[in-house]
A and B are shown apart, each in its own frame.
Chain A
Amino acid sequence: MSQIGVDAVFQAMFLLTDMRELFRQNAPFHDFEGEDKEKAEKIIEGLKKQIAILEKEVL
């Protein structure tokens, strides 16, 4: 059982959901600036971490 791997899947999906929400709040412009750009950077950073966990756990 890989609790860490499964947790990483959910964390990644939740981060992608936050990104989805950013697109929604910025539709139809999608010109992320200021606070939204910072949020997007944070989300992408978090996603990279979760992918790294998955690589370690699964591959």
Chain B
Amino acid sequence: MPNIGKMEAREIEELFINVSPTQAGGRLTPEAQKAVLSYSDGYSVCDNCVRPFRLDYIKKPALADFHVEVAEWLNMGIARVVPGARRGFQAIANSLVEKGDPVILSSLAHYTEYVSIEQAGGIPCEIPKNEKNHITAENTAAKIEEVIAKYKKTPPLMYIDHVDYQFGNLHDIEGIAKAAHKYDVPVLLNGAYTVGTMPIDGKKLGVDFIVGSGHKSMAAPAPSGIVAVTDEYADKIFNTTKVSGDVTGRKFGIKEIQIIGCSLMGATMAGLVASFPAVKKRVENWDTEVKHSQIVTDALTDIDGTVILSDNPRQHTLTRVNTKDSFDKVAETHKKKGYYFSAALRKRGICGIIPGTTRIWKYNVYGLTDRQTNYLAESFKAVAEENGLPVSN
């Protein structure tokens, strides 16, 4: 394997089918790989930055167009780039949340949502999931009422995960947003697992903010992401600096406070922009991705004792599975213990499942070809059969 100093070249994606839950949607397109090669130096996208000296005004490369196109694509008013979805949460929370404010979020939310609330001084208030691991409009309304009664104020913000990272379940955003708006609570959609993989229409969903992750679902290098807001909130979220130095009198033009001026000034930005045409195209193939997800899920359920913990039929490529009564049974007596499972898959050219895991685990089949999908499905069954587990079909 070639080395870069003491660091090995990463050849995972070239040698294996990688079903890591977090890495699938962030694999770069060849266009992004080329852009990263070309724009690898520090402030590489800033060669032609002229007045008013802001990233979203740069015309060459076409960053200005990219910002406009992202907003249009999501059917929102205005968009900005940020170093990861978490920085999008931060920008919105810092704009809307005051110290001591209760902030609503899903009980399936990612930790970065909680921490962004904490950083803004807010108090996270969780909407309970139902027995099917869904956040419902009904539970949302009940939670908001409970919070208003307890804190004697309306929450300034609600976060909701389009697809949650725990189960990969798709939630009823339209219903949930309607419920929140009845109480005048603005809605932030966490689209880390959906922006860039499946079609999204912000207006149809009825959300006020959309946050997406470049490295999770937009085929871009980390850390990158986007934040899109409705026209109604544009000035509030993207307000510009007003301060000046008390000695020098220096002012800072039209730098936006929450973005801290410019955000992605090099390879991350170039990758995001270069992948964008392919990303816009690939969301139209979402049905195929879901079909692939179902093929693998069906194969796993053919193995006796395996239980799919996510919604089934699948509506997303990220799936959580319980194999305590199948693969984990083998681990009890296998000389390699639970490591036999990932080792057997690796021998077949499959990686991305945490070594040693045989109880509850997740996989993501996003971006696989038909051939890779079928091979993955058959491989799970073959590993089961090799280890004496009953397999139907």
Binding site for B on A (CB under 8 A): 10, 13-14, 17-18, 20-21, 23-25, 27-29
Contact partners of B17 in chain A: CB under 8 A: 27-28
**A13 to B34, alpha carbons, bound, how many Å?**
8
Cross-chain contact B14 with A17 (CB below 8 angstroms): no
Count CB-based A-B contacts (< 8 Å): 38
**Listed residue (B15, B16, B30, B350) with the most chain A CB atoms within 10 angstroms of its CB:** B30
Cross-chain contact A17 with B15 (CB below 8 angstroms): no
Contact partners of A23 in chain B: CB under 8 A: 14-15
Contact partners of B34 in chain A: CB under 8 A: 13-14, 17
The 7 A-B residue pairs with the shortest CB-CB distance, nearest first, are A28-B349, A23-B14, A21-B30, A17-B33, A14-B34, A13-B37, A24-B13
* B369 sits at the interface (CB 8 A): yes
**A24 to B371, alpha carbons, bound, how many Å?**
12
* B112 sits at the interface (CB 8 A): no
Interface of B: prevailing SS: helix
* B372 sits at the interface (CB 8 A): yes
Interface of A: prevailing SS: helix
* B38 sits at the interface (CB 8 A): yes
Cross-chain contact B38 with A10 (CB below 8 angstroms): yes
**Listed residue (A18, A23, A27, A29) with the most chain B CB atoms within 10 angstroms of its CB:** A27
**A25 to B348, alpha carbons, bound, how many Å?**
16
Interface size on B, residues (CB 8 A): 18
Q: Which of B38-57 contact A (CB under 8 A)?
A: 38
**A55 to B38, alpha carbons, bound, how many Å?**
22
Contact partners of B15 in chain A: CB under 8 A: 23, 27-28
Contact partners of A10 in chain B: CB under 8 A: 37-38
* Min CB–CB distance A19 → chain B (angstroms): 10
Cross-chain contact A20 with B37 (CB below 8 angstroms): no
**Listed residue (A14, A18, A28) with the most chain B CB atoms within 10 angstroms of its CB:** A28
Over the window 342-378 of chain B, the binary record of Cβ atoms lying under 8 Å from chain A Cβ atoms (1 yes, 0 no) is 0000001110000000000000000001011001000
Contact partners of B375 in chain A: CB under 8 A: 29
Contact partners of A28 in chain B: CB under 8 A: 15-17, 348-350
**A14 to B33, alpha carbons, bound, how many Å?**
8
Listed A/B pairs (20) with beta-carbon separation below 8 Å = A13-B34, A13-B37, A14-B34, A20-B14, A20-B30, A20-B33, A21-B33, A23-B14, A24-B27, A25-B369, A27-B13, A27-B14, A27-B16, A27-B17, A27-B372, A28-B16, A28-B17, A28-B349, A28-B350, A29-B371
Measured CB to CB, the nearest residue on chain A to B18 is A27
Q: Which of B279-321 contact A (CB under 8 A)?
A: none
Among A18, A27, A29, which residue has its beta carbon within 8 angstroms of that of B30?
A18
* Min CB–CB distance B165 → chain A (angstroms): 24
Contact partners of A17 in chain B: CB under 8 A: 30, 33-34, 37
**A27 to B349, alpha carbons, bound, how many Å?**
8
**A20 to B228, alpha carbons, bound, how many Å?**
33
Measured CB to CB, the nearest residue on chain A to B348 is A28
